[in-house]
Amino acid sequence: MSIVDRSEREFEFTDGDFERVRKLIYDHAGIALAPIKRDMVYSRLVRRLRALGLGSFAHYLQVLERGDEAEWETFVNSLTTNLTYFFREAHHFSILANHMKASRSRPYRIWCSAASTGEEPYSLAMTACEAFNTLTPPVSIIASDIDTNVLNTARQGVYGNDRVDKLSPQRLQQFFLKGTGGKTGFVKVRSELQALITYQRINLLDARLGVDGMFDALFCRNVMIYFDKPTQRTILTKFKPLLKADGLLFAGHSESFLHAADLFHSLGKTVYQHTEQPHLPRNTG
């Protein structure tokens, strides 16, 4: 049963409107919206109707279909989900640290392909600093997302105390500065960590991703769950030539790439490697 009483909605949102939204977001961003997401779609897009002074979803969808680039960006931003936190799926970071130390690559290159509001790339940067025992490790991180709003938040590196309350006191002291802009209740990531990261908007469905390999590690976690299997395979096919032969691909805990076993094979713990590379590199966990 829907949690929204559709009879009391401000705007009519028909089955046809929802199907058009599903097709537009799939064609543009590869996101496969399940039928259960209908009420979520309404609640997020209705704000755009109000902001633009439009009278119907049909009119709004016409704006998109006419190719309004600015509204396309807002449309995608509205429908992407950005749940994240520092050191999510913590076991990945210890595996990464060991791989960094064992690798001879300098700089060691990482692509974080779903940066969201920055917690993941900053966790990568902290891991690098700890692995090499310096605030200036030989590591370079590219952090990307399709959502420009979250990328702006990530670049700023400012978080409320509630967002960092699960970090150890040692990490808070080493990697964050208390207060920002005279406000209490916030911390700011140290500039040394920010210097390790380059941010850019990337749509994983674009024919050319806009990043240059080769990477030692590629984080694409909790993203593939929004794509169907054919789209996942398309993306994995693009990833493969961007990873070094001994590079590591990190996926989310609920994601599996068994359907693309000819491209990547599992090393366990949702870590993958080239099919040409049958063994986990020395000292990676």
What does the pLDDT look like over 108-162, one tens digit per residue? 999 999 999 999 999 999 999 999 999 999 999 999 998 888 999 999 999 999 9
- Predicted confidence at residue 37, as pLDDT, reads 87
- pLDDT surpassing 70 at residue 6: no
Domain boundaries, the chain: 6-79, 91-274
Fold annotation for 6-79: Chemotaxis Receptor Methyltransferase Cher; domain 1 (1.10.155)
In the set 20, 22, 145, 216, the catalytic residue is: 145
Q: Which helix (H) or strand (E) holds 197?
A: strand 197-201
Q: Is 104 a catalytic residue?
A: no
Residue 222 is given by DSSP the state S
Task: Spot the catalytic one: 44, 48, 88, 155.
Answer: 44
pLDDT number for residue 182: 54
Which pLDDT band holds residue 4 (cuts at 50, 70, 90)? very low
pLDDT at 5 over 70: no
Supply the DSSP symbol for 242: G
Which range is least confidently modeled, 15-19, 158-162, 179-183, 205-209?
Answer: 179-183
Task: Check: CB of residue 157 under 8 Å from CB of residue 189.
Answer: yes
Buried b (16+ CB within 10 A) or exposed e, 201-230: ebebbeeebebeeebbbbbbbbbbebbeee
Do 6-79 and 91-274 show the same overall fold? no
Element at 65 (helix H, strand E): helix 57-65
Mean pLDDT, rounded, for 86-111: 96
Mapped onto helix, strand or coil, the DSSP state of residue 251 is coil
Q: Report residue 10's pLDDT band, with 50, 70 and 90 as the boundaries.
A: confident
pTM given for the model: 0.82
- pLDDT value of position 279: 46
Per CATH, the number for 91-274 is 3.40.50.150
Does the annotation count 216 as an active-site position?
Answer: no
Average pLDDT over residues 71-83: 82
**pLDDT tens digits, 44-76:** 899 999 999 999 999 999 999 888 888 988 898
